[in-house]
Structure formats: structure tokens, C-alpha cells
Amino acid sequence: MKITIIYGNQRKGSTYNSVQLLKEELNRNGTIEYSEVFLPADLPEFCRGCFDCILKGEEHCPDKKQIQSVIAKMLSADGVILASPVYALDVSAPMKNLLDHLCYLWLAHRPDNQFFTKTGFVLSTAAGTGTKRTNRTLKLTLDYLGFKRVYSYGVNVAASDWSGISEKKKTKIKADLTKKAAKFYKATINRENLRFRPKTRGIFLMMKNLIKTYDDDNLDKNYWLKQGWLNGNSPYKKEVISEEK
């Protein structure tokens, strides 16, 4: 199994150490090959909002070399972990930058169907509060990329660094992540047999009906035509075997 982990900062504090606990528990379930991305080092340039990726094509993005490297690691993985500390009650700026760069791959534009069989895990830590909102932001992107399942874990650690967290709190974090890791691992191993979520299928169908109305020279419309998605070749037509609980 291959898992790509993307960290929202390079500090190696509470978020990083929580991910290490998650990795330890995942490794108890089987052999895993990890690929790690550290932001902002691996994506130093902020999205300019130029719309070139959406209107002209991703090859026109000013930061194409860096963002395509990150996307390649996501595509090569069976599961993806997004981990961010809480900054101003939401994701870190480097993580938000990544999410901005990924928008052209959303179901609303030109989704890569390789994402449709992947699982995700979003994780956040906060000295105070904000993990619920942060995880919602992270999960939204994976949902709109078309991931089959997305799990989440957030914890308010009441400390500014991992060394300041009480042993009681660390024990609870480890126990929580033991349960979460088992579910994530099981879903990732069994990802080909999981049912597609109604929400994801609903978004896909809604966008299909909208994209049909676009002009014939629209980049998104031509992409959907090439995939056959506007002519009945839905990626959700193949019924799968079982529902992961």
C-alpha cells in the first residue's frame, strides 16, 4: 500500500507528531510505503488566482513544476493524508495554498478519475480550538476531488508544542488514532470494493448537467467529452461489491 502525507507546515510539532502516531498504527496493520510533502518547501509559490489552470489548462500554471510534482505523489498513492495545524481557526496558509492550486481538478472542472478510487484522511491539531472547521476545509477538497472515503481526526492539545502536551492527552491521542488507523487501513485495502458515496455521485451528476450547457470550445466541456462522461460513460456505472462500515 502507498500513502502520501502532506503536512501544512514544517514545524514538526503537534500535528507532525500526531501523524507519526497514525503511521505507527497503520504500520501495525500491514506494509506501507510513504511519500511525504512538506509545505511550503514543496510548494513555495502562492496561487495568484490567474485562472490559467481552469481556463487555459494546468500546463499554463506559473507554478506547474511544483504543483504537478505534488499531484503526482497524490495520484501514485492508494490513500492521501492531509495534516494541518490550526491557524486563525482554519488550515495553515501553505495548506490553503495547496488547496487553491488543486481547484482545477475538482468535480466542477476536470477531475482525474484516478482519485475516484482513493481514500483520504484529514488531521488537525490546535492549541485552543478550530479543528472541526479545519478538518471541514481539508475534507471538502478531497470530497470534490472525488475520493471514495475521507476520515478525519482533530484534537485540541492545550499546548503550543508537542513537548508541552500532558502524557494523559498523548495517551488519548494514541488510543483515538489506533481506532481511526484501523478504519482507514481497512477502507484503503478494500477501496476498489467500496460503494461510491451518494454525495459524490450527486455532485458529479449536477456538474454533468451544467457542463453540457457550456460552449463547445470550453476546456472543461471538452475534457468531459473526451472522458465520455457527457455521453453515458459514467465512472459510477460499475456497481461495486460491498459497503465499508
List per-block mean pLDDT (blocks of 10 residues) for the chain, which spans 245 residues.
98 97 96 98 97 97 97 98 98 98 98 96 97 98 97 96 95 97 97 92 95 97 96 74 40
pLDDT of residue 100: 98
How is 157-205 classified by DSSP, letter by letter?
-SSSSGGGS-HHHHHHHHHHHHHHHHHHHHHHHTGGGBPPPHHHHHHHH
Q: Was domain 2-193 assigned CATH 3.40.50.360?
A: yes
Q: What pLDDT score does 238 carry?
A: 58
| Cα→Cα distances 69→54, 56, 195, Å | 18, 19, 30
Q: In what order do the strands lie in the sheet with 149-156?
A: 33-38, 2-7, 79-85, 119-126, 149-156
Q: What is d(CA 109, CA 124) in angstroms, rounded to the nearest whole number?
A: 28
Q: Quick one: pLDDT at residue 232?
A: 83
Domain ranges of the chain: 2-193
- CA 63 and chain centroid, separation: 19
Q: Which of these, 48, 54, 14, 28, lies nearest to 162 by C-alpha position?
A: 14
What are the grid coordinates assigned to 50, written together? 490567474
What are the phi and psi torsion angles at 156 (to 5°)? -90, 110
Burial of 36 (0-12, 13-18, 19+ CB in 10 A): middle
Reported pTM = 0.94
